[in-house]
Chain A
């Protein structure tokens, strides 16, 4: 069975193509969204998903979230003396999704299509594949999130020759894509975005706004208080609307005043972020050569696009109301599942061909003649420009710069900066050339970039016929076979809670965290109910436990809707 996975920064979702349509798969908590959070107990027990998210409020130092932002980097998280990489943490999330899906479908899952931001570079893409491999999955194809979103919005029903734009504001990433659908072809014309911009930044703005108004310095808060602040403000952010200003009573245990925050204040604070958001949109339009008026449809994806002023900003820019009819949190998983169906050559889908673009520029470094102070380093010479349809193969010629130069060493870079030092070095290729005057010997450098993000660099010296080929797939930061084995052993040591155990553990943790943030009279109530629940647990009757768990969950839910942490 092949499934589609949306491996998100804050939440992950999986879906499957079955009976001719995409179906979302609920997790063990009967929810479609599994929070991308992992929490470690002392002694090797771990919590993943909802349980980890709840636990993170109580034990922020033992919990990790938003690690997707660091995929493909050297960053590690040290918890209880063990180091974990973002790849390993992602693999735990994937493993959890698979386990839950297998439980739900009663079928073995061997293969998946995982979505990644269009903006992800080669290294980040292979890191994602590694994570899947660690979880025991085969992943041949990654799908760009906007492409998945476009597919989810049912291309078959669209009139031919539709140009549309996908704006995806997730928890931690921002993606924009412009596509055209015609005659069964889905052509991506341009894609771009910002890897460090997302809904969390909007939460951060509200946090700063609150702290400034409440006269609290962030140095006054410990890790636990900060976590509490984050979750509470996150809740408030959802409630904030133009007709209902926020009133936040002191809740952090430090001296503070009651703070009122109006929608206008918040909107004004977010102005800088909104300006940042407009940049990739304009860049994409420019790259695709289209005018805003030529875009027929705009689709908003990602949980953070629910914020009113995102919608109004897009409406103002394009003078069209964007579409949000599929739940923006689930759109990408639906698209990934449809793609999985396409991959399995399921005939239900018809014959759609996808053409994608390279979201970044690939090239090499050349000597900068104008750099008199020699402070800038090499200049970037693009070979495959960003938003070129893939697979693409392009060739450029480079000449020697010194007399009797014996070798040409060419680095391979990815990025958009004019100076190579600000781009990402993917590798290098060295060829020998016969001795000659500067500028007389030449190398033809061919870059071939395939649809799976694999880059082949071929250097050819016409005068000697020498040829050298470098394949960029062993990018820096990527794991070797040996390291994969080591990771597998390390992760195997972790004890994952049995399914039912975890549900109950999550309930108890939730009760504890609500207790911590409640007032005296509520506390007694919670303690009473918790002890009732624990008494039932001791009798070990699964049926009784199940009904009691439901009751207890409803009881807790009441506290949450009454304003958790308020």
Chain B
């Protein structure tokens, strides 16, 4: 047997371009040489069969073989796609370019890349493959350029992982390896592969967001309506009056003497700290009386870290008040001015955001308990 007759001699038929007769010959042979009984002969027949099919496939379809060339202009838009698809591709490329060269803050935000999800809606599989390749080529090319010049990535791993979830590059590397230079994979796939655990977290984030976005917007509004500025004001008044009563009971004389201001402020701060830390709702007495509650952005209990931030901010804001009641000096006047500025800032915040500085900084909300 000579090489020339392969695979026809193995298949025991004459050369043909008829798929059915190849299959028929193959079927006859492998019934004789079953894979579990004659593994070696089976493999020989199987390979010949694949070879024969490939040869007629190449005749009929004229497979385009991509060359592994240095200039990467392998992929261009061909007229085999309809106008609609061409438009999708153009728009996608324009968006991709825009986002790739946007500010770092925008570029790192996954929400700005959701335009890529148009990929899911495309039905033509070949077109999908092409898009996946083009995006890969762009992203890898840009990343490589910056890596060579500045030793950093243009598109960070988190975004790469997100893109990979859409385009599935990590399962196509064997095919892509024949199209693109090795360096392309180092600045893309290797970062994705090295951060598989991150992939999981993004997935969970994404997943929960998917659920939240499917819920009617009604629930989102609640947080805005329940900020209660008037009630807060009255609760603040209660909190302000309370130390006065306490002072009266402790020492009436002291209440009229010079130091009472300092003690007043100390008792005021002390009460707040003790109540906000110890009570279940983390509220001061005034808030408890008026049934107000401090909560997290999703209406749950606030964390220890948030309590801490609130009080640090509060203490920093209130300490200067101690000095109002003491002798004033230029130094202390500055403090009082600072204090006044914060006070004014708080009033402005109350009107614009319906909340105070320490709420903003600790990301907490005050809501009605009912």
Tell me, rounded to whole Å, the shortest Cβ–Cβ distance linking B56 to chain A.
Answer: 13
Which one, B64-72, B80-88, B170-178, B330-338, is touching chain A? B170-178
Tell me, rounded to whole Å, the shortest Cβ–Cβ distance linking B62 to chain A.
Answer: 15
- Given A205-B207, A355-B46, list of 19 further CB < 8 A pairs? A185-B27, A208-B207, A208-B208, A217-B300, A266-B214, A269-B214, A271-B214, A283-B171, A370-B183, A375-B194, A376-B186, A376-B190, A385-B174, A389-B46, A391-B43, A416-B170, A418-B185, A451-B35, A451-B39
| Structural contact, B214 and A182, CB atoms closer than 8 A | no
Residue of A nearest to B42 (CB): A391
Q: Which residues 39-76 in A have Cβ within 8 Å of B in the complex?
A: none
A-B contact pairs, 13 of them (CB 8 A): A184-B31, A212-B212, A215-B299, A265-B216, A272-B207, A282-B125, A286-B125, A292-B125, A361-B174, A416-B170, A417-B170, A419-B190, A419-B194
Contact with A along B25-62 (1 / 0, CB 8 A): 01110110011100100110010001000000000000
Q: Is B329 at the interface (CB under 8 A from chain A)? A: no
| Structural contact, B23 and A268, CB atoms closer than 8 A | no
Q: Is A382 at the interface (CB under 8 A from chain B)? A: yes
Q: List residues of chain B with CB within 8 A of the CB of A271.
A: 210, 214
| Structural contact, A355 and B35, CB atoms closer than 8 A | yes
| Structural contact, A269 and B210, CB atoms closer than 8 A | yes
State in angstroms the CA–CA spacing of A265 and B214 once bound together. 5
| Structural contact, A353 and B30, CB atoms closer than 8 A | yes
Contact with A along B199-224 (1 / 0, CB 8 A): 00000001110111111100100000
State in angstroms the CA–CA spacing of A215 and B173 once bound together. 44
| Structural contact, B211 and A376, CB atoms closer than 8 A | no
State in angstroms the CA–CA spacing of A457 and B23 once bound together. 31
Q: List residues of chain A with CB within 8 A of the CB of B42.
A: 391
Of A268, A375, A392, A418, most B-chain CB atoms within 10 Å: A418
| Structural contact, A416 and B171, CB atoms closer than 8 A | yes
State in angstroms the CA–CA spacing of A175 and B124 once bound together. 22
Residue of B nearest to A375 (CB): B194
| Structural contact, A392 and B43, CB atoms closer than 8 A | yes
Residue of B nearest to A211 (CB): B211
Tell me, rounded to whole Å, the shortest Cβ–Cβ distance linking B230 to chain A.
Answer: 26
| Structural contact, A275 and B194, CB atoms closer than 8 A | no
Q: List residues of chain A with CB within 8 A of the CB of B30.
A: 185, 353, 355
Tell me, rounded to whole Å, the shortest Cβ–Cβ distance linking A453 to chain B.
Answer: 12
Residue of B nearest to A283 (CB): B171
State in angstroms the CA–CA spacing of A207 and B357 once bound together. 37
Q: Is A499 at the interface (CB under 8 A from chain B)? A: no
Residues of A participating in the B interface, judged by any CB pair closer than 8 Å? 161, 182-185, 205, 208-209, 212-213, 215, 217, 265-266, 268-269, 271-272, 275, 278-279, 282-283, 285-286, 291-292, 316-317, 351, 353-356, 361, 370-371, 375-376, 382, 385, 389-393, 416-419, 421-422, 450-451
Given A370-B186, A419-B193, answer yes or no on A269-B211 (Cβ-Cβ < 8 Å): yes
Q: List residues of chain B with CB within 8 A of the CB of A268.
A: 210, 213-214
Q: List residues of chain B with CB within 8 A of the CB of A184.
A: 27, 31
Q: Is B189 at the interface (CB under 8 A from chain A)? A: yes
State in angstroms the CA–CA spacing of A254 and B187 once bound together. 50
Given A217-B300, A418-B185, A451-B36, answer yes or no on A205-B211 (Cβ-Cβ < 8 Å): yes
Q: Which residues 205-251 in B have Cβ within 8 Å of A in the complex?
A: 206-208, 210-216, 219
Q: Is B3 at the interface (CB under 8 A from chain A)? A: no
Q: List residues of chain B with CB within 8 A of the CB of A351.
A: 31
Partner of A353 from the list B35, B50, B123, B170 (CB cut-off 8 Å) is: B35
Partner of B39 from the list A286, A292, A450 (CB cut-off 8 Å) is: A450
Q: Is B120 at the interface (CB under 8 A from chain A)? A: yes
| Structural contact, A208 and B168, CB atoms closer than 8 A | no
| Structural contact, A418 and B23, CB atoms closer than 8 A | no
| Structural contact, A418 and B35, CB atoms closer than 8 A | no
Residue of A nearest to B209 (CB): A272
Residue of A nearest to B214 (CB): A268
Q: List residues of chain B with CB within 8 A of the CB of A185.
A: 23, 26-27, 30-31
Tell me, rounded to whole Å, the shortest Cβ–Cβ distance linking B153 to chain A.
Answer: 13
Tell me, rounded to whole Å, the shortest Cβ–Cβ distance linking B361 to chain A.
Answer: 25
Given A182-B23, A212-B211, A283-B171, answer yes or no on A393-B43 (Cβ-Cβ < 8 Å): yes
Q: List residues of chain B with CB within 8 A of the CB of A451.
A: 35-36, 39
State in angstroms the CA–CA spacing of A85 and B366 once bound together. 50
Tell me, rounded to whole Å, the shortest Cβ–Cβ distance linking A157 to chain B.
Answer: 18
State in angstroms the CA–CA spacing of A202 and B20 once bound together. 43
Residue of B nearest to A354 (CB): B35
Residue of A nearest to B300 (CB): A217
Given A161-B20, A416-B171, A417-B193, answer yes or no on A371-B125 (Cβ-Cβ < 8 Å): no
Residue of B nearest to A419 (CB): B193
| Structural contact, A418 and B173, CB atoms closer than 8 A | yes
Residue of A nearest to B53 (CB): A289
Q: List residues of chain A with CB within 8 A of the CB of B189.
A: 418
Tell me, rounded to whole Å, the shortest Cβ–Cβ distance linking B150 to chain A.
Answer: 15
Partner of A391 from the list B35, B174, B186, B194 (CB cut-off 8 Å) is: B35
Q: Is B133 at the interface (CB under 8 A from chain A)? A: no
Q: Is B352 at the interface (CB under 8 A from chain A)? A: no
Q: Is B370 at the interface (CB under 8 A from chain A)? A: no
State in angstroms the CA–CA spacing of A185 and B22 once bound together. 13
Given A271-B210, A382-B174, A385-B174, answer yes or no on A212-B215 (Cβ-Cβ < 8 Å): yes
Residue of A nearest to B128 (CB): A282
Tell me, rounded to whole Å, the shortest Cβ–Cβ distance linking B187 to chain A.
Answer: 10
Partner of A422 from the list B186, B196, B210 (CB cut-off 8 Å) is: B196
| Structural contact, A418 and B190, CB atoms closer than 8 A | yes
Q: List residues of chain B with CB within 8 A of the CB of A361.
A: 174
Which 9 A-B pairs have CB atoms at the shortest separation, nearest pair first?
Answer: A183-B27, A268-B214, A391-B39, A269-B214, A185-B27, A418-B173, A419-B193, A269-B211, A272-B210
State in angstroms the CA–CA spacing of A417 and B36 once bound together. 30
Contact with A along B8-34 (1 / 0, CB 8 A): 000000000000100110111011001
Tell me, rounded to whole Å, the shortest Cβ–Cβ distance linking A436 to chain B.
Answer: 26
Q: List residues of chain B with CB within 8 A of the CB of A209.
A: 211, 214-215
State in angstroms the CA–CA spacing of A382 and B46 once bound together. 20
Residue of A nearest to B61 (CB): A289
Residue of B nearest to A282 (CB): B125
Q: List residues of chain B with CB within 8 A of the CB of A370.
A: 182-183, 186
State in angstroms the CA–CA spacing of A371 and B23 once bound together. 46
Q: List residues of chain B with CB within 8 A of the CB of A215.
A: 299
Q: Is B106 at the interface (CB under 8 A from chain A)? A: no
Q: List residues of chain B with CB within 8 A of the CB of A416.
A: 170-171
| Structural contact, B299 and A213, CB atoms closer than 8 A | no
Q: Is B254 at the interface (CB under 8 A from chain A)? A: no
State in angstroms the CA–CA spacing of A86 and B23 once bound together. 43
State in angstroms the CA–CA spacing of A370 and B185 once bound together. 10
Residue of A nearest to B39 (CB): A391
State in angstroms the CA–CA spacing of A275 and B299 once bound together. 31
State in angstroms the CA–CA spacing of A385 and B24 once bound together. 26
Q: Is B129 at the interface (CB under 8 A from chain A)? A: yes
Q: List residues of chain A with CB within 8 A of the CB of B206.
A: 272
